[in-house]
Every structure is written in C-alpha cells, then in structure tokens.
Amino acid sequence: MAKRKSLTFIAFFLILGFLALFAIPFIISLLWPQPSNTNKSLRAMIIDTVCISEPNDELIKNITEALKSRGFKVDIYSAQNVTVSLMRRLTNNYKLIILRVHSSYTHFPRTFLPNNTVVIITGERYANYKYLKEQVLELLVASTVVPELGLAYGYFAITPRFVSSLNGSFGGAMIIAMGCNTLYTTSMAKAFIDKGAKVYIGWDNYVSAKHMDRALGLLIKLLLIDKMTVKDAIDKVNKEVGPDPVYKAKLVYYPLYSGSINIDQIIKP
C-alpha cells in the first residue's frame, strides 16, 4: 500500500513538472500573446549631402533622438559617404528614409528620361568612365549647373530608373525627400511607390536649406511624436513654416490617397 502511494506521488509530481515546463507557458502564450514584431527590427536611414555646403548637426541630432524614441535603429550617412553603392542599399529593410539632399530635374528629353524628370544628387564625384552601363541606361546622370548645356556640376545623380532597378522592395516605407524639386513632378515619387514605398514627401519647387530644415524639424515632430497623419502634418508645416520666401516651394506628398497614413501604420508588422 505504501509503495502504491509513493508511486502515486511520483506520478503527481511528474505531471506537475510537465505542466510547469510545457502546458502552463503554452496557455499563457495563448492568453497573453507577445507582439510578432518588436521595435528592435525597426530601422531608419538618414542621408545628408546638404551638409557639404550647409551642415546642420543639431537638426540631425534632434531627428535621430525622435526616431530612437519611437524604437528605430538609425543609420546616418553624410557627404562623400553617400555613394552610388550606398544608394543601391536603400531597400535594405528601412521603414523610414530621410533624404536631406540636393536634387533637381532634367531640362531636356533624354533617350529614356522625359523632360522634367526628378533626379537626386549623391555625394560621389562624377567621372564619365565610372558606372558606364548605368550611365548609358540613364540610371545615373551627372548633376549639372547649366542643365541645357549638359555641363557637369560634379556629382552622380540617381534617376527614377535607378530606383526602379533596385533589388528588393521598400516594404511600405515612408520616404521624406527634403531637396529642391523632389516633387516638382511625380517621376521620382512614383518610382519609390511602385517599388513598395507607402508614401513619398517632397518639395514642389526650389527651396533654401534654411527653410527646408525648419520644415523638416517640425514635420518629424508632428509625424513621430504627435502621430499626425501625413496630410495633417504637411498642412500644419505649410501653414506654420509657410512656403519658401524666395521660391514659394511648399511640401507635398504622393500619392494623394496616402494622406491618411500615420507613423503607426508605417511601423506596424
């Protein structure tokens, strides 16, 4: 009889141990599921070529802190580090890409690019013997000071065809393109959206660095901290900061239906 009781106790403790090891954690996971995506996977990229002529370390610091407060791991690339090779990595799992860049648009039709195609200027010096295939296919062009004459200003610029040729997808990312004319036409914006971005924000004309930075600082606060929608944030920036005093540029976004998006919809799994 004593032996039977001893075996019963042993069986009881074995069952109890099994429950502690397997069953109870399983039940807890069903009742209180863990989030499938943690902030550790969130990545943001800041690209700054305007710093070559107009550095603004305080702005970059404030943007970085705002991003980190929302759980982003932030990669920052500036000046000569913004190479063509770096731009090929734009689709590397970034949920938010901030481009503080020089940019322009074409002033005459090319073989593959229609007139008024938006181009984004890198920090890599132009050389006519580099990236020959990309130049022939007009994935890359030389930035120009007198576009009509094709005079090289000195840096490689990426075109919408370059964005379309990238491996992978932007995976629902938000693109904030703070440069002159980044939304002068929808050519560049459409390339990002067609490649998987959810929204593209830019300027519809030339803009000074000082005005651009004021607008960018407020925009980041409204989007990341106040969690405003794209439309509401841009409307508020355009109202409070106003258009560029010289060129009358204002912030716009593409596509129009993305105005209802907020940052939580960008970072959700």
Distance CA 101, CA 3 (A): 82
* pLDDT for res 154: 87
**What are the strands, taking DSSP E only, across 91-235?**
96-100, 103-105, 118-125, 140-146, 151-158, 174-178, 199-203
Distance CA 97, CA 18 (A): 48
* pLDDT for res 202: 98
pLDDT tens readout for residues 138-173:
999 998 745 444 444 789 999 999 999 999 999 999
Q: Could you tell me the residue ranges of all domains in the chain?
A: 1-34, 39-267
* pLDDT for res 144: 72
Contact 62, 217 (CB under 8 A): yes
What stretches in the chain show pLDDT beneath 50?
Answer: 3, 5, 7, 9, 11-13, 18-21, 23-39, 145, 147-152
**What are the strands, taking DSSP E only, across the chain?**
43-48, 73-78, 96-100, 103-105, 118-125, 140-146, 151-158, 174-178, 199-203, 251-254
Polymer length in residues for the chain: 269
Supply 92's token pair: 């590397």
* pLDDT for res 17: 52
Domain 39-267 has what CATH class?
alpha beta
* pLDDT for res 6: 53
* pLDDT for res 175: 98
